[in-house]
Structure 1
Amino acid sequence: MTTLFSRPGLTVNIVDTSLQVAGDVDVTSAADLAASGVKWLNQTELTAIAMDFSRVDKASSVAISVLFEWLRICRQRGIQVDTILFSAPLRRLASLAELDALIESPAETLAV
């Protein structure tokens, strides 16, 4: 495990081929959080990864915005996103935003 970002109550770790976010993502941490993942994505030689937001306890559009930034970099670099995991609160928010297909089949949805 490698820690990319850490603030009280919020971390981003790399575990195997997964970017894992844990804690509460808010507007004060979003830019730095996103930047830490972007930096890693721009340096990695992996061709496929997972994104794990299952440890984000609060539903937050900010967390989804971070996900979109990371997905944009993956698309630019040709990195396939095999899995996106969300906590139950984030899943409900994503469903309201009609992002179910993206979460359930990111590789297929992003290939369109």
Structure 2
Amino acid sequence: MSQLLRRDGLRLEAAAQCLVVSGKVGFDRATELADAGSHWLAEHPSGEVVSFDLSGVADVSTAALSVLLEWARAARRAGLSLERVSLSPALTPLTDLAGLERLLPLEAAGD
């Protein structure tokens, strides 16, 4: 696993074809997190399959959802196929409320 970002308990790592986020995602780090993940996505060849793992996000966070949506846009721009988005128990109700299951291949923790 390669570390892409580590700040104040927030961690972004890349494992195989997956971006993995853990810790608390706040708006103070959301732009930095989105940029690091978007840069990683842009480095992959078109047609590749990627996943996002937010199962380690520790809190309910609209900032995390903002980052997730930015990564989905970045993947689409790069011609990548988003296979799966794994969510933490804290994020699942928020994504349900936002109706993101229609837009993203969401997978709640434990699915």
TM-score strictly above 0.5:
yes
| Cross-structure match for 1:34 | 34
| Cross-structure match for 1:104 | 106
What per-residue deviation string (whole Å, max 9, x for no partner) do you get for residues 21-59 of structure 1? 000000110010100001111112371111000000101
Q: Judge which range, 93-102 or 54-63, deviates more.
A: 93-102
For the Cα contact (< 8 Å) 2:33–2:67, is it kept in 1?
Answer: yes
| Cross-structure match for 2:52 | 51
Residue correspondences, number: 105
Structure that is richer in helix per residue: 1
| Cross-structure match for 1:88 | 89
Question: Structure 2 stretches of 5 or more lacking a match?
Answer: none
Offset at residue 16 of structure 1 (A)? 1.0
What value does the CA root-mean-square deviation take over the aligned residues?
A: 1.4
Q: Judge which range, 93-102 or 83-92, deviates more.
A: 93-102
Question: Structure 1 stretches of 5 or more lacking a match?
Answer: 106-112
The sequence identity of aligned pairs, in percent, is: 33
Give the Cα–Cα distance (whole angstroms) in 1 for the partners of residues 25 and 106 of structure 2. 22
What per-residue deviation string (whole Å, max 9, x for no partner) do you get for residues 45-91 of structure 1? 37111100000010111100001111101111110010000001101
The 1:104/1:8 distance shift into structure 2, 3 A limit, reads closer
For the Cα contact (< 8 Å) 2:44–2:78, is it kept in 1?
Answer: no
Runs of 4+ displaced beyond 2 Å: 100-105
| Cross-structure match for 2:62 | 61
Question: Counterpart of 1:18 in structure 2: which amino acid?
Answer: C
For the Cα contact (< 8 Å) 2:87–2:106, is it kept in 1?
Answer: no
TM-score, length-scaled by structure 1: 0.88
Give the Cα–Cα distance (whole angstroms) in 2 for the partners of residues 43 and 104 of structure 1. 24
